[in-house]
């Protein structure tokens, strides 16, 4: 089986690199893998506090703080996955320069592994959401069965962006330094903390095609409303993610022959 130039051995290498990345990122610290849970919990706690107590917000038609917190976390969790995945993917080639120069393997696997690390904060946020839904007495919906599809499409999208940024970072090291600022700008420019209805009508219509918003919406619809997301969102994100991944892969493969001279 060969998919986009990757065969079965490459998928085995992907698993090995993922374990190595997780080990290097977390297990060398005093708390180890606890940080994989604690870090997103702290971030979610901060934003929950701010938008629940400091600048209290509520969802139209839903009373109480818990529905808003569930709505917030069900969208912020996917954003954390995007942010974490892109950050790790962007630095993946430069950070593993010794492996890239001395081990024969497909280095384009590294940004994909970086994108997969975003699954940790996403799973933590979904676990918190499940607990809050149980506390509020809401039963799970069959619509939740579409979440793996949303997860795959979101990961494909982040992997494509990660491939582009990882290759660019080899030649322009400012890429990794500028990324956190760009991500912060994108976070507040996307309907993650506020419903899209809070934006002016014209801007809201434009923002609904923001891929970051679409990814969040694909998670929110089954969790909040117990309904399937609009079909156009799945089609739109499938097309966008495929184009971004194919473009990022072509860009990476075109530049990787020059990596050794710059690492």
Worst-scoring range by mean pLDDT, 90-99, 131-140, 230-239? 131-140
**For residues 27-58, b (16+ Cβ closer than 10 Å) or e, as one string?**
eeeeeeeebbbebbeebbeebbeebbeeeebe
Q: How many CA atoms lie within 13 A of 214 on its CB side?
A: 24
Nearest residue to 13 (alpha-carbon basis) of 122, 118, 96: 96
Beta bridge partners of 3: 6
Which pLDDT tens digit goes with each residue over 33-83?
666 667 777 777 777 777 667 666 666 656 667 777 888 888 889 999 999
What is the model's pLDDT at position 113? 93
Which pLDDT tens digit goes with each residue over 160-194?
999 999 999 999 999 999 999 999 889 888 888 87
Domain ranges of the chain: 8-262
CB 72 within 8 A of CB 48: yes
Mean pLDDT of the chain: 85
How far is CA 91 from each of CA 80, 87, 99, 209, 242, rounded to the nearest angstrom?
17, 7, 13, 28, 22
Place of tokens 């499938």: 238
- Residue 80: alpha-carbon gap to chain centroid: 6
CB 189 within 8 A of CB 104: no
Nearest residue to 161 (alpha-carbon basis) of 218, 40, 242: 242
CB 229 within 8 A of CB 222: yes
Number of helices (H) and strands (E), helices first, in the chain?
Answer: 13, 0
Residues 6+ apart with CB under 8 A from 192: 75, 76, 79, 212, 213, 216
Place of tokens 């940790």: 120
pLDDT band at 105 (very low <50, low <70, confident <90, very high): confident
Structure tokens at 155: 């990961």
CB 113 within 8 A of CB 92: yes
What is the model's pLDDT at position 175? 94
DSSP class of residue 196 equals G
Whole-angstrom distance, CA of residue 109 vs CA of residue 170: 15
């Amino acid at each position: 089986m060969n998919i986009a130039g990757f065969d079965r051995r490459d998928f085995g290498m992907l698993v090995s690199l993922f374990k190595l990345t997780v080990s290097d990122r977390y297990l060398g610290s005093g708390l180890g893998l606890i940080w994989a849970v604690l870090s997103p919990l702290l971030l979610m706690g901060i934003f929950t506090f701010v938008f629940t107590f400091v600048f209290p917000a509520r969802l139209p038609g839903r009373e109480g703080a818990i529905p808003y917190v569930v709505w917030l976390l069900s969208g912020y969790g996917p954003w954390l996955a995007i942010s974490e995945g892109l950050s790790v993917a962007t630095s993946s080639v430069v950070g593993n320069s010794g492996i890239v120069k001395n081990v024969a393997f497909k280095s384009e696997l590294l940004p994909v592994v970086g994108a997969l690390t975003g699954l940790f904060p996403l799973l933590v946020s979904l676990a918190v959401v499940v607990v809050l839904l149980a506390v509020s007495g809401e039963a799970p919906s069959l619509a939740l069965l579409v979440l793996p599809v949303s997860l795959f499409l979101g990961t494909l999208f982040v992997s494509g962006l990660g491939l582009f940024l990882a290759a660019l970072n080899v030649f322009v090291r400012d890429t990794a330094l500028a990324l956190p600022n760009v991500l912060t700008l994108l976070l507040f420019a996307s309907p993650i903390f506020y419903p899209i209805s809070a934006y002016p009508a014209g801007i809201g219509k434009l923002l609904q095609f923001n891929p970051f918003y679409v990814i969040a919406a694909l998670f929110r619809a089954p969790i909040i409303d117990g309904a399937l997301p609009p079909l156009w969102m799945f089609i739109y994100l499938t097309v966008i993610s495929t184009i971004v991944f194919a473009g990022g892969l072509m860009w990476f493969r075109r530049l990787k022959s020059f990596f050794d001279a710059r690492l």
